[in-house]
Structure 1
Amino acid sequence: MRAYLAGALFCLLTAAAAAAAPSATAPCPDCSLVLIGLDDVRADRVKAASMPRLERFARDAAVFTQAVSPAPWTLPAFVSLFTALHPSHHGVVNRYSDPSVDPPVPAVLGKSAPGARTLADVLRAKGFRTAAFTGGAGLSGASGLSSGFEVYADSRSFGGFDLSVPEALAWLETRKAGERFFLFVHGYDAHGFHAGHFPPEEDERFRSRRDEGIGGARPPADREERGRRERRYDEALGRLDRNLAPLLDRLDRPELRGKVVVAVVGDHGEELFEHGGVDHGLTLYDELLRVPLLLRVPGVKGRRVGFQVRTLDLMPTLLELLGAAPDPALAAQMEGVSLLPALRGETMTLDAFSETDFLLHASLRSLRTADGWKGIYDRRTQKTQVFRPASDPGERRDLAAKAPARRQELEGRILAAFDQEPLAPGAQAVVSGRWKKVREGGEVWLFDLWQDPLRGMSKVQAQRPAAVPPEILEKMRREGYW
């Protein structure tokens, strides 16, 4: 993972670079793009029984069965998807900066990574009409995700495809003949809480379990509780599938089928008690990192791709498909690679790095290698777990003691990759290895996370609510981030 370019130099390169002409060799140089974001959908639960419409779509698509997200929650995962930058490099992390800092400020892409361009920025500059219809909450346009979109709908909190799809369909009717467009449609149908769909006592139990996990406790669930949670999650996926169906049906009509690239991608998965917890954001096990990734390209046959790819490879892939070749500055920005070789049947070798930053649980870093090994390093304990996901998909057998050489290799690569996590201009807190620096008022405090992990990492900071404006605390509680 290469170091991110310095902000000033990056801005200079971006401003100076000339826009490239569409490539005549692109598979679909005249196509438009529809990107569908499935929030909180894990790859191993996408099945015909619960999601028949998406399964039907998949027959004509490239299905990447080992797609890995760089983050286990919504905001940094989608910013990575839209910029092809790892979370440590785009800096849009920890939804609200350290809650002990007065006042807490949401991360904003334009400030954390000056000059970084999004997929929408690039396509709009190429003449595409651009629109996004999202479920709001973690996809608030205030984060910088709205950059490049002429229309960016984010007014609902945790809205589903039942709301965003009708809006997207109405917007499609406004397009002019021959006009290229980029449409992003997103829904929270499978996300965490399912208020109004299930008994209140189940929602309350879920919230209680989630809060226990945020506080560091992971009591085991019995078979009945785990089974109930799995069934509820699959029911939510079924609703998602039904709500998404009208958009997929519209994209199947002849006037669009041969002229639109359609990408369907998840941002992160969901814990269903595999490692003692529910919800997402706090760990780097595969139930949170492996996500659906499907790509339908006019004139390209569907296929299943079994080797590992990353969701941050999607942006360079789509740009090449659409004939929007990146200029030198954009090519330098993107840490993903184009997956067009995979569409041609070629094998690619891609390692995947991921990281946590959610609710101050920022200590985990992972590497999932192309040859089938996975390491999860905890900066608080300085310990590394080692797994073989292919033979141990539930990541139950830690091989660190049995494979010390492999553990050392994985740990060394993780430490090297995340050694220098840049502090954004004006940032109020930074975690780097062992130390956390926080500015509070006119003072700068330094915390040793190995000796005092809770002070730097966990919910104990809620004991200092006087530093946080009441309206921000209430918003965080209401949206499930506190």
Structure 2
Amino acid sequence: MSRHNVLLVVADSLRARSTSVLGYRRETTPFLDAFAEEATVYTQARSPSNWTVPSHVSMFTGHETHEHGVDHTARLDAGHTIFEELAEAGYDTGLFSDNPFLTDHESGLDDVFQTAVGSPEQYDSAYETNGSLGDWPNGFWYADRTLEWVDDRESEWAACINLMDTHRPYEPLAEYDEWSDERSRELQESMGFKWHWEFLSGNLSLGFASILEQIYDGAVRQADAIFETLIRGLDEQGVLEDTLVVFVGDHGEGFGEPTAIPEEPPAVSHRIGTHDSMYHVPLVVRAPGQREGHRITDLATLSRFPDAVRAMALGDGNADGPAFASPNGTVVASQAPIGPAMREEAERVCGDAVPFAKHARLVYHDRPGDEVRKRAAWGDSAHESVIKGCGGTVEDRDIDAAVVRNHFDSDRYADVAIATPLDGYTEFEDASDTQFAGDLDDRLEALGYK
């Protein structure tokens, strides 16, 4: 049975409602729109968590976030990911990203791959970002490195490229920055990297968050162009038709959307909360040789990525069905409370960390058509609603949080031992005692995680 290459393209912080492929009013994903004509679009895909590390671990291992419990304070043990499985089957594997959680962190996600390419010390000026908030190359640099690596392969390959262009701070090149203006760019620059706390504290009106969305939309357009570079490059190399292509956001992003749970903060950026803007992500999949496009409204989860690879690349399963759709019509997602460094920042800016340091637990159930039922618990409060398409809600009502918690405590899920706690490492402020000192610590702070 033939085997196929695998390309996983992750646009970091890309939410579904900001993509034209899923109906957004702005043409933010023109290439993805065209690509979807020969691919499968999942209109109701959910991420396992609302930030990078737990979401990627779930994608790589197939285990839900509350099962594996891996975050930046634990190291992923060897032998639990689909990329290691592919390597054992004779594939060359590679990771390409500017995300320090993936390529430089002691959590070990880069060790999953035979090749890992992170932030370069030097790069051509053609790859410079469009702004003053960061000194790192844009995603085109990583796309070109991925294509060079693929061109050197003599056997089947599997690559993951994580694009940070859609992660704050948003700095799209001028040719893609179609909807922002000088005011919005000056606002982002004046707030610096950790602008989410300014909104969560009430120091800035949430109305200004929607102004930042104008720049974000340009960043989405840039990520779409980078994806086009990858696909056209693979086609020129003659390997596209033999490659399983998965384009997805690892989690979403919030721009001040109000939440239905009174005790929960509004949706700002990511990492805190249950708002669907942080969990509903685009998912477009093109199987090797696929020519006919499909739109799947069944509830889907990124945690099924390993199963999809086994079915469509390794040929170990049924490749005809919607591989990412939940087999039982239920999807779960969760977020552990913020750690000490973020709590300290919350106390400094907001005066109180308690409103932000809670568990988020979500249970989604499939419904007919392009709808899902969402039950979400934020600490001891919970709410239920029906979500239509990319955001419209009906049938809102408060529910007992135990309904959500009991679902996570049921026998259908079990803890899995796939990670080891990092000795002497509790949070980012301890980085000076570990290998995280210096540039990595600065990069994490630049991304707002300190």
- Pick the TM interval, shorter chain: 0.7 to 0.9
User: In the alignment, which of 124, 140, 152 is matched to residue 116 of structure 2?
Assistant: 152
Distance 2:58 2:202 in 1: 29
1:132 equivalent to 2:95? Answer yes
> Which residue matches 1:122?
85
* Structure 1 residues 466 and 321: alpha-carbon distance in aligned structure 2, compared to 1, 3 A threshold: closer
Structure-2 residue corresponding to 1:295: 285
1:477 to 442, 445, 450: 445
Q: 2:305 pairs with 314, 334, 357, which one?
A: 314
Shift of the alpha carbon at 1:320?
A: 1.5
Kindly indicate whether the alpha-carbon contact (under 8 Å) linking 1:159 and 1:187 is maintained by their aligned counterparts in 2.
no
Query: Of the candidates 38, 42, 53, which is equivalent to residue 60 of structure 1?
Result: 38
Quote the Cα distance in structure 1 between the aligned partners of 2:140 and 2:107. 24
Give the match for residue 182 of structure 1. Answer: 158
Question: Is the 2:274–2:360 contact (alpha carbons within 8 Å) kept by the matching residues of 1?
Answer: yes
Report matched runs for 1:32-111 at 5 Å.
Answer: 32-47=5-20, 49-93=27-71, 95=72, 97=73, 107-110=74-77
Deviation larger for 124-133 or 291-300: 291-300
Partner Cα separation in structure 1 for residue 377 and residue 221 of structure 2? 35
Q: Distance in 2 between matches of 1:424 and 1:132?
A: 20
Cα distance in structure 1, aligned partners of 2:137 and 2:44: 28
Equivalent residue for 1:365, pick from 336, 361, 376: 361
| Aligned-residue offset at 1:342 | 2.0
CA distance in 2, matches of 1:149, 1:428: 20
Alignment partners' CA distance in 2, 1:408 and 1:279: 27
Code of the aligned partner of 1:307: D
1:158 Cα deviation after fit = 6.9
The CA distance in 2 between the partners of 1:207 and 1:394, in whole Å, is 30
8 A Cα contact 1:128 1:182, kept in partner? yes
Contact 1:354/1:365 (CA < 8 Å) preserved in 2? yes
Report if the CA contact (8 A) 2:17-2:391 is conserved: no
Match for residue 192 of structure 1 among 152, 168, 183? 168
How far apart, CA to CA, are the structure 2 residues paired with 1:426 and 1:408?
30
Return the alpha-carbon distance in structure 1 between the equivalents of residues 136 and 319 of structure 2.
31
Change (3 A) 1:185 1:209: closer
**1:169 maps to 2:147:** yes
Aligned amino acid, residue 12 of structure 2: D
In the alignment, the residues of structure 2 paired with residue 310 and residue 394 of structure 1 have an alpha-carbon distance, to the nearest angstrom, of 20
Q: 1:50 to 1:146 in 2, by over 3 A?
A: same
Question: Does the residue aligned with 2:398 lie in a helix, a strand or coil?
Answer: coil
What corresponds to 1:232 in structure 2? 215
Q: Residues 117-154 of structure 1, C-alpha deviation per residue, up to 9 Å, x if partnerless? A: 21210111111111221123221353222234221112
The match for 2:354 is none
Partner amino acid for 1:109? L
What secondary structure is seen at the aligned counterpart in 2 of 1:70? coil
Return the offset for 1:471: 4.4
Quote the residue 1:341 is aligned against.
321
CA distance in 2, matches of 1:47, 1:440: 42
8 Å CA contact 1:83–1:116 kept in 2: the answer is no
Cα drift, residue 305 of structure 1 = 0.3
Opposite residue 273 of structure 2, the aligned amino acid is T
Query: C-alpha deviations, 1:64-95, integer Å up to 9, x for none?
Result: 111111110111111110111112332321x2
> What residue ranges of structure 2 are gaps of 5+ in the alignment?
22-26, 121-134, 174-183, 259-265, 340-356
User: Could you tell me whether the CA contact under 8 Å between 1:282 and 1:356 is conserved in 2?
Assistant: yes
Amino acid at match of 1:61: A
Question: Structure 1 residue 238: deviation in Å?
Answer: 1.2
Task: Give the corresponding residue for 2:131.
Answer: none
Aligned to 1:278: 268
Question: Who is 1:412 aligned against?
Answer: 406
Task: Provide the secondary structure at the position in 1 that maps to 2:391.
Answer: coil
Q: 1:131 to 1:343 in 2, by over 3 A?
A: closer
Deviation digits for residues 266-319 of structure 1, max 9, x if unmatched? 100000111234211101221000111111113433200011010001111111
1:241 to 216, 224, 232: 224
Partner of 1:15: none
1:6-21 to 2 correspondences below 5 Å: none
Q: Using the TM superposition, give the Cα deviation of residue 409 of structure 1 relative to its aligned residue in structure 2, in angstroms.
A: 4.1
Amino acid at match of 2:113: F
Change in CA separation of 1:194 and 1:415 when aligned onto 2, cut-off 3 Å: same
What code does the residue aligned with 1:250 have?
G
Distance 1:342 1:50, change over 3 A: same
Q: State the Cα distance separating 1:159 from its structure 2 match.
A: 5.2
Give 1:284's aligned amino acid.
Answer: T
The 3 A distance-change label for structure 1 pair 174 and 374 is same
CA-to-aligned-CA distance 1:226-276 (integer Å, 9 cap, x gap): 442221111111122223321111233482232111111210000011123
Secondary structure at 2:20's aligned position in 1? Answer: coil
Q: Which amino acid aligns with 1:354?
A: A
Please name the residue that 2:244 is paired with: 261
RMSD: 3.6
User: Quick check: 1:69–1:311 contact (8 Å CA) kept in 2?
Assistant: yes
Q: 1:57 to 1:158 in 2, by over 3 A?
A: farther
Q: Distance in 2 between matches of 1:149 and 1:292?
A: 25
Answer yes or no: is the 8 Å Cα contact 1:377–1:414 preserved in 2: no
Could you tell me which residue of structure 2 aligns to residue 143 of structure 1? 107
> Which residue, 4, 9, 30 being the options, matches 2:3?
30
Per the alignment, in what secondary structure is the counterpart of residue 53 of structure 2?
helix
Cα distance in 1, alignment partners of residues 294 and 97 from structure 2: 29
Distance 1:350 1:170, change over 3 A: same
Deviation at 1:209? 3.8
Cα contact 2:43–2:282 (8 A) shared by 1 = yes
Q: Match of 1:287, as an amino acid?
A: S
Q: Offset of 1:340 from its aligned partner?
A: 4.5
Describe the superposition over 1:187-242 as per-residue Cα deviations: whole angstroms up to 9, x where unpaired. 101101125867344233364541246xx64678465x244222111111112222
Other-structure match for 2:132? none
Partner of 1:374: 374
SS of structure 2 residue aligned to 1:166: helix
- Would you say the 8 A contact 2:100–2:444 is kept in 1? no
CA distance, structure 2, for counterparts of residue 92 and residue 199 of structure 1: 35
Contact 1:121 1:147 in 2 (8 A): no
TM-fit CA distance, 1:466: 8.9
1:356 aligns with 2:335: yes
